[in-house]
Amino acid sequence: MYRKQVRRRRAVLVVLVVISLVMISATFSEAESGPLHTLQRGVAAVLSPVEEGASRALKPVRDLVNWFDETFEARGENEDLHAENAELRAELTDAQEALGENEQLRGLHDLDKSLGRDPELAGYEPVTARVIARSPTLWFSSVQVDRGTSSGVEVNDAVVSPDGLVGRVSETIRGAAQVELITDPRSAVTAKVVPEGPSGVLEPQVGDPENLLLDFVEDDEEIVEGQTLVTAGWSTGKISSAYPPGLEIGRVTATELGEGESFLRIHVEPFTELRDLEYLQVLTGGPERPGLPQ
């Protein structure tokens, strides 16, 4: 029974295919005024309103589908643009960091050459170091660098940047060292105003580490804004300054009367921007400095 139904369906399908082929051939060979073309136009005329109505009825559905397609496509393009923008921003950041590091390293190279020409710094061996940690306090009192005793760095070695004095080494281990900055509350640098100014001890002002003070200068000294302070680098033979002479520290920004109105207080702005240190140099070796605590 089942096989008869299958054969019957196949026979009907073959007949319909043959009829379709015959009608297609007849339509192509028939003139435009022939009965088949007339029938085709009649059917089209009857079904056209139905097709138009169906098209109008389905238009909101098509618009909704198109809206979803366009929305997802726009979202995909937006995500691609965001990813591309993030990649370009990362490349720009890397390029800017590389440029900044290159400028700092070039500055240290120039510093190497200037130190080599300074007779007062003869015998010192600069060791370039990178800052790997910073003081967690607001006073940016210390930094840690990636050079230690294995590179010849010792406690009390002076630390400089291309702009000027940074501080001194306060602790060392084999592969790292702690640097006490000149803005640390414990810092004290013997300094003098050049060319022919007074000497004194330069310390950070309490509550304002960006402002250094050279205190107890006699009020008959002529100090003007813009003059430079450098390390004095003194030694009595038994005790010594922790810093070699002639290292630039900062410039005078203001003077005022100090205690008893018989002394001047000189305000000094450091040349080095201590918040932004990335690379610096430790001045290792040099002449013996008696009396320095180890």
The whole-number average pLDDT for the span 30-50 is 58
pLDDT of residue 131: 94
Which has more confidence, 34 or 150?
150
What are the counts of helices (DSSP H) followed by strands (DSSP E) for the chain? 2, 12
Which amino acid appears at position 22 of this protein? Answer: V
Say if residue 245 is preceded by a cis peptide, omega within 30 of 0.
no
Backbone angles phi and psi of 171, in degrees to 5 = -145, 150
DSSP string, 77-132: HHHHHHHHHHHHHHHHHHHHHHHHHHHHHHHHHHHHHHHHH-GGGTTEEEEEEEEE
Q: What's the full length of the chain, in residues?
A: 294
The whole-number average pLDDT for the span 223-246 is 84
Indicate whether 3 pLDDT > 70: no
Tell me the per-residue pLDDT of 58-76, one tens digit each, with 9 for 90 and over. 667 676 767 767 777 777 7
Tell me the per-residue pLDDT of 88-126, one tens digit each, with 9 for 90 and over. 776 665 555 555 555 555 555 556 555 656 666 778 899
What's the token pair of residue 64? 């909704």
Which has more confidence, 125 or 86?
125
Share of the chain above pLDDT 70, in %: 64
Residue 46: exposure state from Cβ atoms within 10 A (0-12, 13-18, ≥19): exposed
Backbone angles phi and psi of 108, in degrees to 5 = -65, -35
Q: Report yes or no: 230 and 249 within 8 Å, Cβ to Cβ.
A: yes
The whole-number average pLDDT for the span 161-177 is 94
289 closest CA partner among 247, 230, 231, 244: 244
Indicate whether 220 pLDDT > 70: yes
pLDDT of residue 123: 81
Average pLDDT, the chain: 77
pLDDT of residue 198: 86
Among 3-17, 43-57, 94-108, 164-178, the range with the most confident prediction by mean pLDDT is: 164-178
